[in-house]
Structure 1
Amino acid sequence: MKPTLETLIQETLQKEKRNLFSFLTGAGISSESGLPTYRGSDGIWIKGTKYHKPEEFGTFKYFSQNQEEVWQYNLFWKKLIEEAKPNQGHFTLSEIENLLSEKFQLITQNVDGLHQKAGSKNVFEIHGNKQTVRCASECSGVMLIPSELKSKDLSEDLSEKDIELLHCQNCEDWLRPNTLWFDESYNEKLYFLNSTLKAAKNTGVLFVIGTSGATTLPQMIAETVLQYGGFLVEINTEEDSYFFERFSRTKKYILIKEKASDALIKIKEMIEKYK
């Protein structure tokens, strides 16, 4: 018999080992801030770009041949991110972190930085961050996107100054967005591969919020949590994710069919009750 969510939270708080509360978030949590999702009905990867399928456009191979076009798209995203504000879900997660301290871990697929804007500190960004860049030749580390570089409308061309700013000062190759593309692999240095799996081994309950689970590391995180005795709690108004398909028949999976912001407030209240 599956435990109730309240019982699960109470028991995890009382455990001496594998008592981490981990939260895995995807684009769904930022949709309430006005940012588009990726694989929802109106998602970017469902609709695609104007001329290309996402699996073609969102690759290092495509970037290496079409740098200006890819940067036009990313500077449009820069505009969306600059205009977006954290929503209640982001703020509640920050409050939960303050309650749990070292028993809290946030793992996000999002590249918008809204968790940090809301005050979250212990964050693994497993797909990178669109507010940072690095040299396409990897001659230097991750850096903030040049402050002089302005966001653009989707149809707006790059200026000569933009192109100058988007070249590495060390080797003069193009700078690239510091995000994970379809033809690239997870690693520890940029995407916290080992750190997230280590956290998964110590997790008592993994909350999955706003992600379809279509990429490999989120799947590995969930598998690892369950393998080491933890529980999976998915917050999703639909029954359409990898996690539901893969784990819903197991005793260690709970589905909460509510908006993320509403569900997180209830989770926070339960933690406050038993902490």
Structure 2
Amino acid sequence: MKEQLEEIIKQAYTKTNKNIFTFLTGAGISSESGIPTYRGVDGIWVKGTKFHKPEEFGTFNYFSENPEEVWQYSLFRKKMFESVKPNESHHELVEIENMLQDRFHLITQNIDNLHRNAGTKRIYEIHGNNREIKCSKGCKEIIRLPDEIEGKNIDEDLTKKDIELLKCKECGSWMRPNILWFDEYYDEKTNKKFSSLKIAKNSGILFIIGTSGATNLPIAIAQSTLKYGGTIVDINTEDNQFTKLIQDKKNKLIIRSTSTEALQMIKEIIKNVSENDSEKIKSADNSLI
């Protein structure tokens, strides 16, 4: 498996076009930081939403009818996210970005800010993030969640000040989290839909890490990479929707390991390929002297 991965990385690294290294991450990469995944036995939906089904609770329709309850839950998650730190996988990705520079892109489904906190710069948050809010009626631009609004325990109510700060200054309607809910569509402004698909099209390799492919844009990203000749590397602990997509394809590699183990191996291979490439350039330059 390592030899196959080395060959895939070497081919992508030496290309002059479609040579982008893209990493697509999901909730699995943050689990080592202590953030539960969404649909497992101890998942965040089970612990935080009074046992609502995700497709019921995580919707704009539910927010419209129960804004205070949804904000209470959102601020519970805010407190959870603020209590944890990036794990080794997040830091490995930063080191890989430092080596690849502009040839590196990270597309994440996570709203927990851990990639940014680790130091990743070339990042596309396709499910939005919990740092920002916007008017539920569509007024004005996306803004930062006011610093005065703190994270809460799951049984802690909004204060009068919280409610005041969470009302749109333009129309008086409730502000809402700048995230994608189950009854909404991907767009460019919040979800970087077209930017992420363009990156996928030009990716020599798409590494899929810690995500099962339960939503349609991540699957479309993988399909785009395959369509234009890129290779998919599925890094998860078990089979998933991406596995089904690529199982009959030639340009794929399936790795069943933790994200940290796989990323350490990827980083080492890229480092070796980069050093060998630099040596070849030096030798070529010396031969012209």
Which bracket does the TM-score occupy, shorter chain normalised? over 0.9
Q: Which residue of 1 aligns with 2:92?
A: 92
Report the identity percentage. Answer: 54
Deviation at 1:38, TM superposition (A): 1.6
Shift of 1:245: 1.9
Cα 1:20–1:46, aligned 2, differ >3 Å: closer, same or farther? farther
- Higher-helix-fraction structure: 2
| 8 Å CA contact retained: 2:135, 2:176 | yes
CA distance in 2, matches of 1:113, 1:167: 24
For residue 70 of structure 2, what is the aligned residue in structure 1? Answer: 70
Q: Runs of 4+ in structure 1 displaced over 2 angstroms?
A: 39-49
Question: Amino acid of the residue matched to residue 130 of structure 1?
Answer: N
C-alpha contact (below 8 Å) 2:45/2:51 kept by paired residues: no
**In the alignment, which residue of structure 2 is the partner of 1:260?**
259
Contact 1:39-1:212 within 8 A present in 2 as well: no
Counterpart-to-counterpart distance in 2, 1:38 and 1:249:
29
Structure 1 position 16, deviation (Å): 0.6
Name the aligned partner's letter for residue 257 of structure 2.
Answer: E
The correspondence of residues 1-275 of structure 1 with structure 2, limited to 5 A, is: 4-45=4-45, 49-239=49-239, 241-275=240-274
In 2: Cα distance, 1:247 partner to 1:44 partner = 29
Per-residue CA distance 1:201-221 (angstroms, 9 max, x = gap): 100000000101010000000
**Mind listing any 5+ residue stretches in structure 2 that lack a counterpart?**
275-289
Return closer, same or farther for 1:209/1:40 CA change in 2, 3 Å cut-off: farther
Structure 1 residue 248: deviation in Å? 2.0
Rounded Cα–Cα distance in structure 2 between residues aligned with 1:90 and 1:247: 25
C-alpha change, 1:112 and 1:48, in structure 2 (3 Å) is closer
| Partner amino acid, structure 1, of 2:248 | R
Q: Could you state the TM-score of these two structures normalised by the residue count of structure 1?
A: 0.96
SS of the counterpart of 2:232? strand
How far 1:249 moved relative to its partner? 3.0
Aligned to 2:204, the other structure's residue is in SS state strand
Aligned AA (1:194):
F
Contact 1:48 1:54 in 2 (8 A): no
| C-alpha distance in 1 between matches for 2:208 and 2:86 | 18
- Cα drift, residue 48 of structure 1: 7.6
Structure 1 unpaired stretches of 5+: none
Q: Deviations over 1:167-222 (max 9, x none)?
A: 11222111100000001000111111110111011000000001010100000000
Alpha carbons 2:45, 2:52 under 8 Å: kept: no
CA distance in 1 between counterparts of 2:160 and 2:268 reads 53
Larger Rg: 2
| Residues 131 and 144 in structure 1, CA contact (< 8 A), matched pair in contact too | yes
Give distance in 2, aligned partners of 1:266 and 1:70. 41
Counterparts of 2:13 and 2:117 in 1: how far apart (Å)? 27
Query: Residues 17 and 41 from structure 1, CA distance in 2 versus in 1: closer, same or farther, beyond 3 angstroms?
Result: farther
Residue type at the aligned position of 1:203:
S
How many residue pairs match? The answer is 273
Question: Aligned pair in 2 of structure 1 residues 46, 236: CA closer, same or farther (>3 Å)?
Answer: farther
| Mapped partners of 2:46, 2:208: distance in 1 | 21
Distance 1:210 1:13 in 2: 24
Higher relative contact order (CA 8 A, sep 6+): 1
Distance in 2 separating the partners of 1:25 and 1:148:
30
